[in-house]
Each structure stands twice: as C-alpha cells, then as structure tokens.
C-alpha cells in the first residue's frame, strides 16, 4: 500500500503514513541512542546480577552490560562468572542496545552491528543470514551466493529485505561503505581516550530513509530545502545514480509547522492516551505496566450487525487492526496481553487470530503471537527497540506516580466537587484528562455514589465542633486547587518544550495539590463564627405557612426582605399573626434539628449573602446534599 514519509529534521522526528494515518514514528533524541558506539571503561562488575556497569562518559549514569552480551569483550573463551570475564578499568568497545529509561542507564552490548541500506555488517559475527521477509527462493539463492562471496573474513553479514531485487553493484557498494565505517571506529578506539562516543547515526534523514524507505513510498515531505536535496541524493545513490521513480519529494513550505500540518503531533498526543476508539463504536484500552502491556477490547454501544456473534467478531477484528497499528506507533515492546471480547465459536476465534496475524505482518519489530490462553487472552511478544512513545513524549505524573489514581481515604482530603465533574481527580481507569473532559458521564457515576455514601458521615459531623472549619477548608482547597492547576497548564504550555503533552495531560487531572499546606490555613479561618454577633429576629407566619416551610425545608428568614451576614448566627422566632414577640417555646434557633438547619442553608442559596471575601456560598454543596438526604429520611 502507498506510504508517505514526513520528516521534521529540526525535531528529529519522522512519521510514516499509510491509509492516511500515522503508522510509525522515527525519533532520535537523548544523549545515548540505539546504535551509538562508545569506547567505555568498566566501572564495576556485579556478580550478583551477572552484569557490569560501564562508564561511557555520562556523569549521571553508567551503561549496563549483561554477561550474555559481552561478545568479544570476554577475557576468557570459557564460560564463567562475569568477574572472570571482565575486570574493572578494562576499556571496552560497546554499542547501545536499548536507550536509557527513567533512571536506568543505556543497555550495552559488545556484539557490534553496523546497519547499511542493504546489509548489516557484524564485525564480530559469523556467517551469512538473510531476512526472512525475502520470500522468493531464486532471489534468496542469488543474495546468499553474493553475500558469501563478498563477506569479509571473520565477520558476519545479514542481508536486509531491502536488498531484494537490487543490483550486485549497489549491494557491494553498501558493504564497502560499512567496512570503511568499521575501520574508522577501530582506528578511533586505539587513538581516543576513553570514555568517548566513537560513532553515531548523525544524519537523521539517512537513518529515516534507511529504516523506512521502501518501494511503496510515493511521497516524502521534508521541512528544509537542504533536507530535500539530501533525500534525493540518498535515493539516487541507492538506485545506481538514477533519479528515483514513483516518489514525490516535497519541501514543506506552509506557514504551519510540518508536524502540526500533517497532524503528527496530534497523533502523538492521542497515542499517549489509554483509550483508542474503533471505527464502529468499540474501543480499546492500552495499559502499559513495568512487566507487560495489557490491552482490553470493549464493544461500546455498537450495533452494526444483526447478531451479537457477528458484532463481537467485527469489533474484535477492528480492534486487532488497531492494536497492530498502536503497537508500532507506540513502539510497545516485550510481552503484550490482549483481552478480546469473548467468542464461543472456535471458527470465529480462528478467523480473529488469522486477521490479527495478518495485521501484525507489516511490523518490522516482528510481533509473534505466543498463545491463546485458556482464558481467551492472546499473548504476544514484540521486540524492544528504541524508546516507546511514553518514554519519548510522556512524563510520569509526580502526584500519582503514573498510576492515574490519587489516594482519597475516608475522612481525609477534599470532598468531591460535584459542580466540576470533568476535572475532579477521580479514581478512574484513565490517565487522560482530555478524555474525561470529553466524556464525563461514565466517570461521574461512581464519585457521585461515593459522595452519597459519605453523607451519613457528614450528618454526624453536623454538631461536631470542627464541622464549620471542615466545610470551609474543603471549599478553600477546592478553589485554590482549581486555580492552581490552571496556572500549571499555562506555565507548562509556555515553556516551549517540544512535548508539553504529557505534562499538560497530567496536570489537568491531578488537581490535587499539596494537602499539608492547605490544612495549615484552616485554624486561621475557623474563628469566623464567633466573630459574627448573634442576631434575633422574629417572623410572622400562619400555622399553615409554618407547616409548608417546615415541609419544604425553607427558612422563615426568606420572609424578611433583607440580607444576613451569617444566617447561622440568626435566631429566628416564628410567631402567628398578631402574636407577641417573646414566646420562647415557639422559637426556632440554630443549631436545630436537621430540617431547620437545612432551612437556614436554603437562604444561602436563594439570597445573595455577602461576606467580603466572597466565599460565603461555600457550604452549599454539603448542605444541599444534607437536605436531600433529610428528605429521603
Ligand atoms: Zn497523576
């Protein structure tokens, strides 16, 4: 199928498109990149983990080499403990296998490989190997024969898929260039002081083309004119000096940056979210963990086919296609477990597995379906290579440590802000705030229940001395937090970092700000109640009115056409028309039985009560809830 490659050279990001979607990314970032070759110094050898740490010139962290990756570095031919094979201060020529992640240094190997366009030279390797993707037997024979003929003595050679159908001269030229590269590395290794970087794929365009260009690429867009020239030059070299056919090479001249124009950044942003929607209404949830990645397939509210069986198969097939794409796009390696929607029919299961297998075929990291477990889970493995999208563009949220959950224990923290379901820090499955904003409904339910569950507890607090303080503190927290989180977003967005996506994403969700600091402010506010002098008022009401007001839970204060600084500090005495003011037996005072307390709070709802700091309507939510529960009871 026709492919397009978008190259943002300045950002060292390239995207491969087909079927109008970003399918794969090439990103070169960081101090240590896969393929870098270093002259390092063994710092310490750790027998307990059969590994050694190697100084490769990064003050922050050493590289890590496992005994199985020593290759030519081992001091003895015989097998043995790593302490016998490597000694501290030994100089070693190593290559980065896996880029550093978190606080782990890069993983190194002594088995150096030099990839070219058509061949991979393995200076310490053996024999000739052919890419399994070359299917044609005649072509395999031709390439194998050629490789055996030209292979340098004592080295290994791998023939890449790209060599298929290529002239012998082009392949030989590729080998010569790799051999020159190796000679240069060896020369530097003897003449340079360790630790030092000896070789790197410096040319991003060359790397992208080497890894991503194939005959089905019909368009390449580069963001610089110099880049366009280099693409043309490179393709001409590979096609024996002739201009490449069937491919348009464009210079991106639009005012909008190339990554925005082609929506690459948008695709990256989407690929950091757990949820991916499928065309027919189903969706998948991708949850990476330390040990493996779990993918859950959900049918959503999809009713395309007449029968449920067809629906399930259809959704599963759509999911399989999308999972294959997401694994490439996110560059998820290691063990992956997919929980498809259950299917009883073995025929359907087989159909799905075939479809999934086919969808995975286009992936160069060669995902392999390991098994279909008894529970109907499909397990597969995918080669780890380079960083995944979370490592490249994400950042673990410091508040929840990447879990996507914030702790909220009974009796601690803030109550749920019902008026802002979209940004409340809910214990939901997703780490994506965007998603919550788009779809608050599914997440709204559970916190609401939780809130209701708390009401009983809050009722008990009613006469507790610190109740007032708590209500105040809670609301203050809520407000401050919301404001703070907005500030955070603005700040993050303004730093001009290449990938503010993750930071923003997390910040919106984790509106929970430090708890300690805010608690401190509580006592300061608490004396408020004492400050307001108690006021006595009397209200005239007929017995009927009194009944209705009591039933509705409305305060008699609404009858008086005036404002109260603090309705809680008002003692109301209700009198029948014509009655004298002083009838203590009919006095309704606060604190009072639930219904009447509630009635007072209603004042705050209906009357504009002023209190200078503008926070007077704060206890609304709690009181309202209480009222509704009082009614139910
Ligand atoms: Zn978080």
Residue-wise pLDDT tens digits, 291-319: 899 999 998 765 555 568 888 999 999 99
Of 485, 502, 525, which residue sits at a domain end?
525
Q: Tell me the C-alpha distance between 302 and 283, whole Å.
A: 10
Regarding whether 577 and 514 lie in a shared domain, the answer is no
340 and 352 Cβ atoms separated by less than 8 Å:
yes
Residue 432's CB: how many other CB atoms inside 10 A?
21
Regarding whether 94 and 68 lie in a shared domain, the answer is yes
- How buried is 253 (Cβ within 10 angstroms: 0-12 exposed, 13-18 middle, 19+ buried)? exposed
Regarding whether 514 and 582 lie in a shared domain, the answer is no
DSSP conformation class of 612: S
Regarding whether 507 and 543 lie in a shared domain, the answer is no
Number of domains in the chain: 4
Residue 395 host element (H or E):
none
Helices (H), 96-136: none
Of 368, 391, 414, which residue sits at a domain end?
391
Residue-wise pLDDT tens digits, 223-263: 999 899 999 988 988 877 788 889 999 999 999 999 999 99
Q: Does residue 163 carry a pLDDT above 70?
A: yes
Tell me whether residue 132 is in a domain.
Answer: no
Cα of 444 vs centre of ligand 1, distance in Å, is 18
**Residue 81: partners with Cβ closer than 8 Å, 6 or more residues away:** 47, 50
pLDDT at 533 (0 to 100): 64
Cα of 597 vs centre of ligand 1, distance in Å, is 39
Residue 428 host element (H or E):
none
Cα of 385 vs centre of ligand 1, distance in Å, is 27
DSSP assignment of 126-191 equals -SEEE-TT---HHHHHHHHHHHHHHPPTT-EEEE-GGGTT--HHHHHHHHHHHHHHHHHHHHHHHH
Cα of 326 vs centre of ligand 1, distance in Å, is 23
Cα of 305 vs centre of ligand 1, distance in Å, is 39
Q: DSSP 3-state assignment of 361?
A: coil
Cα of 565 vs centre of ligand 1, distance in Å, is 40
Tell me whether residue 381 is in a domain.
Answer: yes
Cα of 183 vs centre of ligand 1, distance in Å, is 49
Cα of 406 vs centre of ligand 1, distance in Å, is 7
Closest CA to 220 of 231, 211, 234: 231
Regarding whether 324 and 296 lie in a shared domain, the answer is yes
Closest CA to 444 of 452, 347, 380: 452
Cα of 196 vs centre of ligand 1, distance in Å, is 38
Q: Does residue 277 carry a pLDDT above 50?
A: yes
**Residue 129: partners with Cβ closer than 8 Å, 6 or more residues away:** 156, 157, 158, 159
Half-sphere exposure for 346 (CA within 13 Å, toward CB): 1
What CATH number is attached to the domain comprising 52? Answer: 2.40.50.140
Cα of 273 vs centre of ligand 1, distance in Å, is 13
Regarding whether 371 and 474 lie in a shared domain, the answer is no
Tell me whether residue 65 is in a domain.
Answer: yes
Regarding whether 520 and 399 lie in a shared domain, the answer is yes
Cα of 506 vs centre of ligand 1, distance in Å, is 5
Tell me whether residue 225 is in a domain.
Answer: no
Closest CA to 427 of 413, 410, 446, 411: 446
Residue 3 structure tokens: 């492919």
pLDDT at 326 (0 to 100): 97
Q: What sign has the CA pseudo-torsion 107, 111, 112, 113?
A: negative
pLDDT at 308 (0 to 100): 81
Cα of 512 vs centre of ligand 1, distance in Å, is 9
Residue 424 structure tokens: 């409340």
Regarding whether 597 and 568 lie in a shared domain, the answer is yes
Regarding whether 520 and 423 lie in a shared domain, the answer is yes
The range of the structural domain enclosing residue 375 comes to: 272-391
Tell me whether residue 370 is in a domain.
Answer: yes
Which of 60-64, 71-75, 540-544 is the least confident region?
540-544
What CATH number is attached to the domain comprising 362? Answer: 3.40.630
Q: DSSP 3-state assignment of 614?
A: coil
Cα of 154 vs centre of ligand 1, distance in Å, is 53
Q: Tell me the C-alpha distance between 614 and 612, whole Å.
A: 5
Cα of 276 vs centre of ligand 1, distance in Å, is 20
Residue-wise pLDDT tens digits, 6-43: 999 888 899 999 998 999 999 987 777 888 999 999 99
Regarding whether 594 and 554 lie in a shared domain, the answer is yes
Report which of residues 459 and 349 the model is more confident about: 349
Tell me whether residue 19 is in a domain.
Answer: no
Cα of 432 vs centre of ligand 1, distance in Å, is 9
Tell me whether residue 604 is in a domain.
Answer: yes
Report which of residues 573 and 619 the model is more confident about: 573
With left for phi above 0 and alpha for psi between -120 and 50, is residue 102 left, alpha or beta? Answer: left
Closest CA to 606 of 571, 552, 557, 570: 557
At 95, the pLDDT band (50, 70, 90 cuts) reads: very high
Residue 191 backbone dihedrals phi, psi, to 5 degrees: -105, -5
Regarding whether 476 and 571 lie in a shared domain, the answer is no
pLDDT at 397 (0 to 100): 84
Regarding whether 398 and 346 lie in a shared domain, the answer is no
Of 69, 94, 109, which residue sits at a domain end?
109
């Amino acid at each position: 199928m026709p492919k397009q490659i978008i190259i943002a050279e300045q950002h060292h990001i390239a995207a491969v498109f087909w079927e109008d979607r970003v399918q794969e990314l090439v990103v070169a970032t960081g101090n240590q990149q896969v393929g870098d070759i270093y002259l390092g110094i063994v710092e310490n050898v750790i027998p307990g983990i059969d590994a050694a740490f190697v100084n490769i010139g990064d003050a922050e962290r050493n590289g890590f080499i496992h005994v199985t990756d020593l290759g030519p570095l081992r001091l003895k031919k015989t097998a043995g403990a790593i302490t016998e094979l490597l000694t501290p201060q030994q100089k070693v020529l190593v290559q980065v296998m896996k880029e550093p992640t978190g606080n782990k240094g890069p993983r190194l190997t002594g088995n150096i490989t030099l990839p070219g366009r058509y061949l991979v030279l393995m200076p310490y390797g053996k024999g000739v190997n052919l890419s399994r993707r070359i299917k044609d037997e005649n072509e395999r024979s031709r390439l194998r024969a050629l490789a055996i003929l030209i292979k340098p003595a004592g080295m290994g050679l791998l023939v890449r898929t790209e060599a298929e159908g290529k002239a012998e001269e082009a392949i030989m030229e590729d080998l010569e260039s790799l051999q020159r590269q190796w000679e240069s590395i060896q020369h530097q290794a003897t003449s340079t002081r360790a630790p030092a970087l000896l070789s790197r794929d410096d040319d991003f365009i060359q790397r992208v083309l080497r890894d991503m260009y194939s005959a089905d690429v019909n368009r390449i867009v580069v963001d610089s004119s110099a880049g366009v020239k280099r693409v043309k030059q490179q393709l001409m070299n590979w096609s024996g000096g002739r201009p490449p056919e069937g491919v348009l090479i464009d210079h991106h001249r639009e005012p909008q940056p190339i990554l925005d124009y082609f929506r690459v950044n948008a695709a990256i942003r989407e690929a950091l979210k757990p949820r991916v929607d499928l065309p027919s209404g189903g969706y998948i949830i991708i949850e990476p963990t330390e040990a493996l990645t779990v993918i859950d397939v959900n049918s959503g509210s999809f009713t395309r086919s007449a029968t449920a069986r067809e629906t399930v198969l259809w959704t599963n097939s759509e999911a399989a296609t999308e999972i294959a794409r997401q694994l490439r796009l996110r560059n998820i390696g290691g063990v992956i477990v997919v929980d498809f929607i259950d299917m009883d029919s073995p025929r359907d299961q087989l159909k799905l597995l075939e479809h999934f297998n086919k969808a995975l075929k286009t992936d160069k990291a060669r995902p392999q379906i390991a098994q279909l477990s008894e529970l109907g889970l499909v397990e597969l493995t995918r080669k780890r290579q380079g960083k995944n999208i979370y490592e490249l563009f994400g950042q673990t949220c410091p508040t929840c440590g990447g879990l996507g959950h914030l702790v909220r224990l009974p009796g601690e923290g803030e109550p749920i802000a019902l008026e802002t379901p979209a940004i409340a820090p809910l214990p939901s499955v997703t780490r994506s705030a965007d998603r919550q904003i788009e779809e608050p409904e599914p997440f709204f339910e559970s916190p609401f229940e939780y809130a209701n569950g708390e009401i009983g507890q809050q009722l008990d607090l009613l006469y507790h001395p610190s109740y007032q303080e708590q209500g105040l503190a809670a609301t203050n927290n809520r407000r401050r937090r919301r404001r703070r989180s907005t500030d955070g977003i603005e700040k993050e967005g303004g730093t001009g970092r290449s990938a503010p996506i993750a930071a923003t994403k997390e910040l919106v969700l984790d509106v929970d700000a430090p708890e300690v600091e805010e608690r401190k402010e509580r006592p300061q506010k608490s004396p408020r109640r004492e400050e307001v002098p108690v006021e006595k008022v009397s209200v005239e009401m007929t017995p009927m009115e009194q009944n209705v007001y009591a039933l509705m839970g409305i305060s008699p204060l609404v009858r008086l056409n005036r404002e109260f600084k603090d309705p809680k500090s008002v003692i109301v005495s209700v009198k029948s028309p014509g009655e004298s003011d002083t009838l203590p037996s009919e006095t309704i005072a606060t604190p009072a039985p639930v219904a009447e307390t509630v009635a007072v709070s209603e004042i705050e709802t209906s009357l504009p009560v002023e209190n200078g700091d503008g926070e007077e309507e704060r206890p609304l939510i709690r009181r309202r809830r209480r009222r509704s529960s009082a009614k139910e009871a």
